[in-house]
Structures are given as C-alpha cells and as structure tokens.
C-alpha cells in the first residue's frame, strides 16, 4: 500500500498544474502544505541524528514541487475567477489589516528573510557539510579497516558501518542539491507574487471593468494571501533543513531541543550574568515589568543549575567505575619526591620507559603517582590496583637528595615492570604495539592482522616470548615470521618456534661474547626421547621429569642464582624441556635450539647432559618395537 502513495501523489501534483480546482480543494491542499511544513520542522527539532531523516532531500524536492503546483492552481483561480478560497482571503486580510502598502512591505520582509537569511544560509551550510563529509570519508573507511584488523569489530559490523558512511555521504551531497530547489522556490515565489499583482490589475481593469484602486485592492489582497501561504511553508522547510545540517550528532539519543536547553542551562555564570543585566535594565524605567520578570527567571535557573551541579559532582553521591592503571606507585605524604619538579619526574619516567622498550620491547604507559597514608619512607607498587611490593623510598645515598630518590624510584619501577611484564601483555598492550609499528610498516600490519594472526593470538605469542626472556622490540620480525610460518597461526607451539628461529640474530647477540656461546649439550638419545614426548608418542610423567632435572644438575653443578646456564637441544625438544625445567624451578637454565643460533656464532660445549639408564632402556625398547 505504501509503495503506491508516492506515485499517486506525483500524478496528483501534475494534475494540479494542468486542471482547474474548486476553492474547497484549494483550501484543503493549502492546509496540507502548511501542516506538513510544521510536521517537518517538528521532526528536525526532535531528531537525534540527521541520518535518521535521510529522505530529507527528497522530501524538500517533493515539497517544492507541491508548492509550485499550488501556486499555479491559485494563480489560475485568482486571475480567472477572482476567488481562490477562504484560506487565501483570510491570510491576505490578516497580512494587510486594511493597509495595502503595509501588507506589501511586511510580505517583502518575510520573503527577503526567507531568501537571503534562511534559504541562502542553509544552502551554504549544506554545501560545506557535503564537502567536509566527502573529504573525511577515506579517513573513516581506513579507521573501520583498522578496527577490523585489530579484531575489535567483526565483518558484519564493519559492513554496517561502511553502509552508514555511504548513506551519510549521499545524504549531505543530496541535501546540498536539494537546497538549490528551496532557494529557487523562494525566487519563484517573489516572481509569482509580482505576476499575480500585475496580472490581477490588468484583468480587473480590462476584463471586469473595475477601477484601478478596486482592482489593486482586491487582487493585492488575494496575491499577498497566496504568497504568504506559500512563503510560510517554504520558510519552515528551509528552517527544518538548516536545523538538520547544523546539528552535531552525538552518541546519545537526545533531541535538539533537549541538547540546546541542557547546554544553555548548564552554563551557570552566563545565566546569572544575563539575569543581573536584565535587573539593571529594569532600573532604567522602560519595560520594567518584562525586565524584572526575565531577571527573576534567569537568576532562579542560574542558582538552581548551580545547586544541581554541586549535587551531581559530589563524589559521595555518585560512583563512576573505571579500570585501575596497569602500574601505580603510592608515595607517602611526606615523600621527598614532592620537592622534585614535574618536568624532572616526567623526564626520569620517560627515560625508564625508554629503557624498557629498548631492552625488552615493552611499551608501557607512564605509571600513576599518588600520595597515600602509607608508612613514611616507603612507597608501594600496585599492579592493576592491587598492592604488589613495598620498597624503601630512597637508598642511604639518596637521603636528603630528591633527584637521587627519584632515580631510585624509577629504577624500582623498571625492575617491577620487568617482573610483571608477562602479566602486562594483553590485547590492549598488543594493539598499542601494533599502532606504533603501523607508523613504520603499515602494509605489514594490514596484511597480517587479523588475516594471518589475530590480536589475541599475537598477545599469547608475545607473552610466551617475554616469558622465555626474549625481547619483542622487533615486532616486525615477529609478524613476518607469523606470515611465513607453515602453521599460519593454527598451532601456537609451532608458531612460537618459527618466531624464535626468525629472531636467531637477537638470541645470538644476547648470549654470545665475542662471537662465542658457551653452554651444555643435550644427549642425542635424550633429545630424541623428549621429541617423542612432544609428539605424544611417549609418556612424560613426574618421575621422569625429576630424572631429567637430576641429569641437568649433574652436568651443571655450578648453577648459581641469577646466573643463566645455556642448554643446546633440537627445535623439537626445546619447548617441552624448557617447560619441564621451569616447572622444577630451574629458571636459570635457558634452553636453546640449534636452529636458533646464527651461522656466525661459534658454539663451545662446556658440559654434557647424559641420559639416565631408565629413560635409555625405555627408548631403546621403543626403537626395537
């Protein structure tokens, strides 16, 4: 049913241009025109988003065509019969009030306001909005593509956002063109009014034998009534279009009326200032009552908004949840660091953050600093809002020296961040690292995330690298290895080994000294047996893990705390052996695969991890079977 309304309406509009209409039909059509314009301006006022009225350009075009058809019909009635219905005569009498020239002047003022101010201003705003919308379109599309790569939105959401962008660009472009019709309608109204007055005067004098004064009085009244009934809807339609194109859309669903009242009423000093100015003007003695009434209203709402704001801002009456900072530092209220300049604190923290990035590739945000009622001389480090450690605010050498105390605090921060680096790596951290890399290698990021590896998978991979004391500064190498890996992210364990091999120069550079790496070598039989356990072809129970630990300790009895010992294996056994040793508390043993050493490095064997008799017997029995 709705599909045939518009075609029938267009046929009816064309019929109005060609066929004469009775006065009652003209009155009905004029009423529809007037009320429809009121409806349109009401929609524009209570609209929360301009795109929700995306058919506005078409509506303006149809309304303009409808008004022009009415102008033709009323012109035919005015010049042909001298009677255009009750609506035109009533509005003409209302405008003239018995004074023809006063009515003409008022009508011209209304027409000029419609043409010069409303229509021309709305046209200019629509033109600028269309240009800026089209200029911003590529950037918005790139933002959607970046969100898809980051995994923050799915393909269906991206499709809907792209469709919304296309609708927005077409809307403002079409509205720019539709405002030309509105402007042309205002010009046509002036021309039609002049034609009706001149034509009516000629018809009255030459056809109906009226005097010049009588003909001028009669046809001017009808013409001004017709013009007023045409210009008022045109003015309202232009105003509706102007309200829509000047509206700044927000995420909330507030209407324009609510936004205007809330924003004007929220500026307390402006209300109070305007109220006092109105009160001073009331003392002049002219229009005292209106000035006093307006002053009272403004002062009342000014002080009322102030009271409401104080209530709203009271922290005891409201609660706004937010995520705690990743790392926070609580200082005692009498901290010596309060004597440090803000620029010095910022410089030292920036230096600490630079050390973390250059050494480990960790992109931390600056920690939150706050004063608390903690023990004097002790500062607390919090991880995600939970107290983790408490350290002395300064060393003995730093006592009385704010700069040395600041350096000590930053050193503690670096150590604390290094100790919690694994827990810090999440999707937010990874997204920040990708954004940093995208500045230098945008194509690499675009081609790998999320098509090859998602942000969450990359977070897990980076977390494992950091857990194994690897630097993730070369994130481009990690992404390139992920793109070239045969597993393509389907097997996290294989992907980790591929990435470690890609980072072999970093590994070799870290553990070598003058091109030489010293360490232990794993027995080939034990290596092959662990590889079978990795593939699930052999069983690795806790007792055998203990035997492996004993074998490693026998080969390296000089293991000391915080002193790393390197153990060389094949890539097939490296991951499982590292996990077993870490589970047994041997974190000082760093297991490297032969493929992870650069060809320029010389390996010097300082010990041999032999196989136990039990494991050897099981392995050879399996080989014999």
What's the pLDDT tens digit per position in 341-363? 778 888 888 888 888 888 888 88
Choose the final residue of a domain: 439, 472, 502: 502
pLDDT of residue 321: 47
Both 40 and 102 in one domain: the answer is: yes
Both 107 and 231 in one domain: the answer is: yes
For the cut 80, the answer to whether the pLDDT of residue 11 exceeds it is yes
pLDDT of residue 129: 77
pLDDT of residue 549: 75
pLDDT of residue 319: 41
Question: What mean pLDDT is reported for the chain?
Answer: 78
For the cut 70, the answer to whether the pLDDT of residue 421 exceeds it is yes
Local confidence band at 181 (pLDDT 50, 70, 90 cut-offs)? confident
- At 361 the three-state DSSP class reads coil
Between 306 and 202, residue with greater pLDDT: 202
CA gap 426, 202 in Å, rounded? 85
Structure tokens at 192: 């039609």
Name the residue range of residue 129's domain.
2-257
Q: Is 322 inside any structural domain?
A: no
What's the pLDDT tens digit per position in 20-79? 788 888 888 888 888 988 898 888 888 777 777 788 888 888 888 888 888 888 888 877
Between 618 and 70, residue with greater pLDDT: 70
Q: Assign residue 137 a region: left if phi > 0, alpha if psi is -120 to 50, beta otherwise?
A: alpha
Q: Is 317 inside any structural domain?
A: no
CA gap 454, 482 in Å, rounded? 11
Please report, for the domain that includes residue 599, its CATH number. 3.40.50.12790
Both 161 and 291 in one domain: the answer is: no
What's the pLDDT tens digit per position in 224-270? 888 888 888 888 888 888 788 777 666 566 667 677 777 766 677 77
What's the pLDDT tens digit per position in 283-318? 877 778 888 888 888 788 777 765 555 444 444 444
For the cut 80, the answer to whether the pLDDT of residue 492 exceeds it is no
Both 302 and 169 in one domain: the answer is: no
pLDDT of residue 616: 60
pLDDT of residue 317: 40
Give the helix/strand (H/E) hosting 553: helix 542-555
Give bridge partners of residue 567 from the DSSP assignment. Answer: 520, 591
Both 196 and 300 in one domain: the answer is: no
Both 492 and 562 in one domain: the answer is: no
Structure tokens at 206: 């030459």
Burial of 279 (C-beta count, 10 Å sphere; 0-12/13-18/19+): middle
Q: Is 213 inside any structural domain?
A: yes
Q: Which residues contact 466 (CB under 8 A, 6 or more apart)?
A: 360, 362, 421, 422, 425, 472
For the cut 80, the answer to whether the pLDDT of residue 474 exceeds it is yes
Both 406 and 456 in one domain: the answer is: no
Question: Which of the given ranges, 166-170, 495-499, 562-566, has the highest pLDDT on average?
Answer: 495-499
Local confidence band at 146 (pLDDT 50, 70, 90 cut-offs)? confident
Burial of 307 (C-beta count, 10 Å sphere; 0-12/13-18/19+): exposed
* R_g of the chain, CA atoms, integer Å: 41
pLDDT of residue 405: 80
Both 217 and 339 in one domain: the answer is: no
Both 383 and 444 in one domain: the answer is: no
Between 311 and 460, residue with greater pLDDT: 460
For the cut 70, the answer to whether the pLDDT of residue 507 exceeds it is yes
- At 388 the three-state DSSP class reads strand
For the cut 50, the answer to whether the pLDDT of residue 440 exceeds it is yes
Q: Is 348 inside any structural domain?
A: yes
For the cut 60, the answer to whether the pLDDT of residue 624 exceeds it is no
Q: What is the mean pLDDT of residues 485-499?
A: 76
Both 488 and 470 in one domain: the answer is: yes
Q: Which of 127-131, 249-253, 574-578 is predicted with the least confidence, judged by mean pLDDT?
A: 249-253
pLDDT of residue 488: 59
pLDDT of residue 324: 55
pLDDT of residue 371: 79
Q: Is 155 inside any structural domain?
A: yes
Q: Which of 83-92, 146-155, 439-448, 459-468 is predicted with the least confidence, judged by mean pLDDT?
A: 146-155
Both 39 and 165 in one domain: the answer is: yes
Q: Which of 207-211, 228-232, 234-238, 433-437 is predicted with the least confidence, judged by mean pLDDT?
A: 207-211
Local confidence band at 538 (pLDDT 50, 70, 90 cut-offs)? low
Both 213 and 250 in one domain: the answer is: yes
Q: Please state the pTM of the whole predicted model.
A: 0.51
């Amino acid at each position: 049913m709705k599909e045939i309304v518009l075609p029938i309406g267009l046929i009816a509009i064309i019929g109005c241009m060609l066929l004469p209409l009775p006065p009652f039909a003209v009155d009905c059509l004029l009423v529809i025109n007037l009320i429809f314009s009121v409806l349109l301006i009401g929609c524009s006022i209570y609209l929360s988003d301009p795109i929700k009225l995306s058919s506005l350009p078409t509506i303006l075009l149809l309304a303009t065509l409808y008004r022009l058809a009415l102008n033709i019909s009323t012109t035919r009635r005015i010049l042909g019969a001298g009677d255009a219905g009750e609506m035109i005569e009533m509005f003409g009498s209302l405008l003239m009030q018995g004074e023809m020239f006063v009515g003409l002047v008022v009508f011209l003022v209304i027409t000029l306001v419609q043409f010069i101010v409303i229509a021309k201003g709305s046209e200019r705003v629509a033109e600028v909005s269309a240009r800026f919308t089209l200029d911003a379109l590529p950037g918005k599309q790139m933002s959607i593509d970046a969100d898809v790569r980051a995994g923050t939105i799915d393909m269906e959401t991206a499709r809907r956002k792209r469709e919304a962008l296309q609708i927005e660009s077409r809307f403002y472009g079409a509205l720019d063109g539709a405002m030309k019709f509105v402007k042309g309608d205002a010009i046509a109204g002036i021309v039609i009014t002049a034609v009706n007055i001149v034509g009516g005067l000629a018809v009255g004098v030459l056809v109906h034998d009226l005097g010049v004064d009588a003909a001028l009085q009669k046809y001017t009244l009808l013409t001004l009534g017709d013009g007023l009934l045409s210009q008022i809807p045109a003015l309202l339609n232009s105003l509706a279009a102007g309200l829509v194109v000047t509206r700044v859309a927000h995420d909330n669903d507030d209407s324009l009326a609510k936004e205007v009242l809330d924003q004007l009423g929220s500026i307390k000093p402006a209300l109070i200032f305007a109220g006092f100015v109105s009160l001073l003007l009331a003392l002049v003695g002219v229009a005292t009552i209106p000035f006093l009434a307006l002053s009272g209203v403004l002062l009342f709402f000014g002080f009322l908004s102030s009271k409401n704001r104080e209530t709203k801002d009271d922290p005891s009456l409201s609660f706004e949840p937010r995520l705690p900072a990743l790392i926070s530092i609580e200082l005692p209220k009498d901290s010596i660091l309060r004597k440090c300049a803000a620029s010095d604190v910022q410089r030292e923290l920036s230096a600490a953050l630079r050390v973390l990035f250059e050494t480990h590739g960790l992109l931390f945000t600056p920690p939150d600093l706050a004063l608390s009622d903690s023990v004097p001389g002790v500062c607390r480090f919090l991880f995600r809002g939970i107290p983790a450690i408490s350290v002395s605010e300064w060393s003995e050498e730093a006592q009385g020296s704010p700069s040395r105390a600041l350096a000590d605090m930053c050193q503690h921060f670096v150590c604390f961040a290094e100790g919690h680096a694994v827990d810090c790596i999440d999707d937010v951290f990874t997204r920040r690292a990708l954004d940093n890399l995208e500045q230098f290698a945008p194509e690499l990021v675009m081609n790998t995330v999320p098509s090859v590896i998602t942000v969450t998978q990359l977070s897990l991979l980076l977390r494992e690298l950091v857990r194994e004391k690897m630097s993730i500064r070369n994130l481009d190498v990690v992404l390139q290895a992920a793109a070239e890996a045969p597993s393509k992210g389907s097997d996290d364990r294989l992907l980790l080994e591929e990435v470690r091999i890609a980072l072999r120069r970093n590994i070799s550079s870290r553990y070598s000294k003058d091109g030489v790496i010293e360490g232990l070598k794993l027995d080939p039989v034990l290596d092959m047996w662990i590889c079978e356990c990795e593939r699930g072809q052999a069983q690795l129970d806790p007792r055998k893990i203990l035997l492996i630990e004993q074998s490693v300790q026998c080969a390296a009895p000089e293991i000391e705390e915080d002193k790393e010992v390197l153990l060389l294996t094949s890539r097939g056994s490296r991951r499982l052996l590292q996990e077993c040793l870490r589970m047994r508390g041997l974190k000082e043993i760093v297991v490297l695969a032969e493929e992870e050493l650069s060809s320029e490095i010389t390996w010097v064997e300082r010990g041999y991890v032999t196989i136990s008799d039990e494991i050897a017997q099981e392995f050879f029995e399996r080989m014999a079977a």
